Chains A and B, each alone.
Chain A
């Protein structure tokens, strides 16, 4: 009752279906190439056109290669999917940031960066990491392709209202402890299904003191606790970030918007269906050892004993033993990027560790900015020079090695320290072994050639 989630949700209710879901109005629909083609086909089969084309934004990201984007995509099946999005956007008059368009990138990096995702909005996309946009104070969640078709057809979705949960993290995060570590810590405590059925509001000093990039990382990972979405009430950090962004309101409209957005917070009398509280001082740099993101430990901790057959199967897959530390474990690949950690701040963090050092010879490192804007900014800050001097190359934007859909796949049996969001079996390539971690941990692994506590390399 009277939570920020209630306020935003209730303001978008078109009707409550009798003994059924809510018909919810959607402010923004983002479409990428993987989960939209069947929805556009469905629309055509029903003889419809998008109901509110101005509220729909399309861009390819999952299949895009991270090199030679000026050439045709080599994989014909990937090319077909990317081309289908271009054609669908053209046919239906939708805004489309195609490959090499200056606004292209990973949809969850681009939305906030362009000021398309704004406080108080309802935002959906056929992608579970749509929860990312909650960082601007929006109700944002991932949907299936049938639901994409619903929004195309009616700008609405039928959805049961989730329960509300507040996760409060008090105190300050320690040195070398990032938003990624905070999220991995929450998952390790709550498990991958601990927030299923809930929409999460993040609060507390450790959350509000995060930068916008950090907030985007935290909200991105809400789904990995099972949550429908996660968000942070908008504040001055949010407004500062959004001000002047291309699609954000400008001038007098901006002032009016901020005035309205300032009312977007849970009331002092707000009642959540569930509340949990954590202490930031308990959190250290985190790393995962298993095959779901909830199987994580602090870097100085040891791998726990498996509690059931599923956990034993995970350890067998990862070739790790309970009771051992991950420190010193040799690393084959390092991946910096994804909608989780592909923003400018993530590149700054990675660069801060590798500066003045050299990439370990045997490590293959993929550094993939989340968008062309991120590429532009890291060049403007001279980070490209720092990274190149340390033996790293910067690739072109896309989802890359996060999900094994494009060329960037980790070979079977190889261990990758990855800043992405999922360590499922085969996620980064059949047989690939993934340890999820922060950009600091990834940078440390890349220069040392093994898993180390990044704090030992910090200035």
Chain B
């Protein structure tokens, strides 16, 4: 899953629903795997398929839409902390999720799996939805080094938040455990001072 980020230029899959919870992203009955593989097939499982396995009328089943960017309504990823939701999004092939608001744990889970959550203003989000509705092949540009998201059709751009540490991680395929292991001496020193460990 570790992959270096730079500039992503892609068409999008729109999901203009609010409060999309992690039970919808990946239902609990698919959480039984003991590895991280294969979750993409079950991304939004119950919205994609009927119980008999036939396809439902859902954006992921519509060949009109595709790309590495998922654009979703506000409060994306609320509910359970299951990282399987991030594995499903990454496994399906998304590298960026754009929304006006993310639930905390899920946002962190995406970052830890090299999926970039991009927070935009509600106004810009609605503009992006409108652009995609008009032209399903419309492109967005996500410039990670400059922390800039651009709607190629309208030319509108917004700066997005990403702390310097995580930006370094994403651009260099470096993860938190690499960092923590490099800082063991600080942990031992902390334990000594605070009588822990």
Contacts and interface: CB of A to CB of B under 8 A. Distances in A.
Contact of A25 (B19, B35, B113, B194): B194
Given A78-B32, A154-B180, A309-B17, A422 B103 contact: no
Contact of A196 (B18, B101, B191): B101
Given A25-B190, A424-B23, A20 B163 contact: yes
Interface string B100-123: 010111001100110000000000
Contacts of A405: 28-29, 31-32
Sorting the interface of chain A by its residue count into under 10, 10 to 19, 20 to 34 or 35 or more gives 35 or more
B47 to A, nearest CB: 9
Contacts of B183: 14-15, 23, 154, 156
A21 B165 contact: yes
Interface in B13-58: 16-19, 21, 23-24, 27-29, 31-36, 46, 51
Interface string A88-113: 00000000000000000000000000
B143 to A, nearest CB: 19
A34 B186 CA distance: 31
A424 B197 CA distance: 40
Contacts of B16: 309
A80 B184 CA distance: 33
Contacts of B163: 19-21, 160
A127 B80 CA distance: 7
Interface stretch (B59-67, B81-89, B132-140, B152-160): B81-89
Contacts of A18: 164-165
Contacts of B81: 35, 126-128, 130, 142-144
A143 B187 CA distance: 20
Contacts of B127: none
A87 B83 CA distance: 22
Contacts of A160: 163
Interface stretch (A36-44, A173-181, A263-271): A36-44
Contacts of A19: 163-165
B75 A84 contact: no
Interface residues of B, number: 55
Contacts of B35: 37-38, 41
A52 interface: yes
B165 A20 contact: yes
Interface in A101-156: 126-128, 130, 142-147, 149-150, 153-156
Contacts of B196: 25, 27
A427 B22 CA distance: 10
B26 to A, nearest CB: 11
A18 B163 CA distance: 9
A204 interface: no
Contacts of B108: 143-144, 147, 159
A430 interface: yes
B181 A226 contact: no
Contacts of B113: 146
B79 interface: yes
A309 B16 CA distance: 10
A52 B191 CA distance: 11
B194 A128 contact: no
Interface in B156-197: 163-166, 175-177, 179-181, 183-184, 186-187, 190-191, 194, 196-197
A456 interface: no
Nearest to A405: B28
B196 to A, nearest CB: 7
A11 B193 CA distance: 11
Contacts of B91: none
A17 B83 contact: no
Interface in A198-229: 223, 226, 228
A37 B34 contact: yes
Contacts of A422: 21, 23, 79-80
B159 to A, nearest CB: 16
Nearest to B34: A37
A426 B180 contact: no
Given A14-B186, A192-B75, A34 B31 contact: yes
A226 B103 contact: yes
14 contacts: A17-B179, A19-B163, A20-B164, A25-B196, A34-B31, A38-B36, A63-B32, A75-B32, A143-B81, A144-B112, A149-B177, A150-B177, A156-B180, A425-B24
Interface of A: 11, 14-15, 17-21, 23, 25, 27, 34-35, 37-38, 41-42, 46, 48, 51-52, 55, 62-63, 75, 77-78, 80-81, 84, 126-128, 130, 142-147, 149-150, 153-156, 158-160, 162, 192-193, 196-197, 223, 226, 228, 292, 308-310, 313, 403-405, 412, 422, 424-427, 430-431
5 smallest beta-carbon distances between A and B, as pairs:
A20-B165, A19-B164, A144-B83, A146-B112, A37-B34
